[in-house]
Amino acid sequence: MRILVTGATGFVGNAVVRQLATEGHEVVGFARTARRCPCELRTGDILDQAAVERAVEGADAVCHLAALTQVRRSFEEPVRFFRVNLGGTVNLLDAMSAEAQRSGRRLRLIFASTGAVYGAPETQPITEGQEPEPSNPYGASKLAAETAIGYQAALGGLSAITLRAFNVAGAVDGHGDPDTSRIIPKTLLVAAGKADCLKVNGDGSAIREYTHAGDVARAYAAALDAADSVGHRVYNVGSGVGVSVREVIETVERITHRPVSVHWGPSASEPRELRVDSSRIRSELGWQPSRSGLETIVADAWQALNESAR
């Protein structure tokens, strides 16, 4: 298939591009700036309708990852997050509809959503049956985009799958997560001596789970193969293994052989545990995580950080 990947130069987008190319697809990337990308790259803004239409032309499918993703920043710029995450998706849906009418083909869409759409439900692990209740503008903007996709797919001209990923981490081919507001990149920066200390709210017992970017990329490939029927399906993508903040710190110290200075602050108002049930994608699409053990995630991210410093 000829596949357009929006956000192709981002952390997860890069992994998706590489995975799809490895599987023999013809991949075209779309991003705002001309950065390193292992495929043909078209530059443009997801809010530029004409640019999006040009990028979609000739595509059989789209993996839509272009988005704003930082939870904390979304509280400071909620309108901007909705403009990009919802508005950009609407632009893409319009472009895909036009391409389907022009070519006579039904296009496939794989949408990058997030576990943040669920908020902090009491019942764990979180299944797709859990009613979404996002607690931040980022999650709300992604849920709004999901809703638009669902209505468009119901018209019959589009087959769509939404992947709700949880805490994507690690690195693929030396391309790690540049967002140091997330715990694993920040902890590695402290270990590398590039940050003074890691600030932790509470005693470090909060449980989260992390999924390797390479495993998430394989979920996109599996979803593309499965997105051949009319409608919109939703799948959680997670490792199934919960780990504490303390375990992250201890694993970083063990992998890097360096101490991590920690500033232990007061507890914050946040869920003690967030884990995901990804049994649906495993049973229906045959996806299984193979690189999402914490040690592998940390080791790959550490190697990427060291390579970027050379």
Residues that are catalytic: 138
Quick check: 163 and 237 in contact, CB under 8 A? Answer: yes
Maximum separation of any 2 CA atoms in the chain, in Å:
59
Instruction: List the beta bridge partners of residue 6.
Output: 30, 64
Query: CA–CA separation, 29 vs 53, rounded Å?
Result: 13
Q: Closest Cα partner for 248 from 291, 182, 298?
A: 298
What burial class does residue 155 get, using C-beta atoms within 10 Å of its C-beta: 0-12 exposed, 13-18 middle, 19+ buried? exposed
Radius of gyration of the chain (CA): 19
SS3 (DSSP) at 65: coil
Quick check: 253 and 191 in contact, CB under 8 A? Answer: yes
Query: CA–CA separation, 57 vs 44, rounded Å?
Result: 14
**Element at 102 (helix H, strand E):** helix 88-103
Residue found under tokens 């006579």: 104
SS3 (DSSP) at 121: coil
Q: Closest Cα partner for 185 from 193, 172, 176?
A: 176
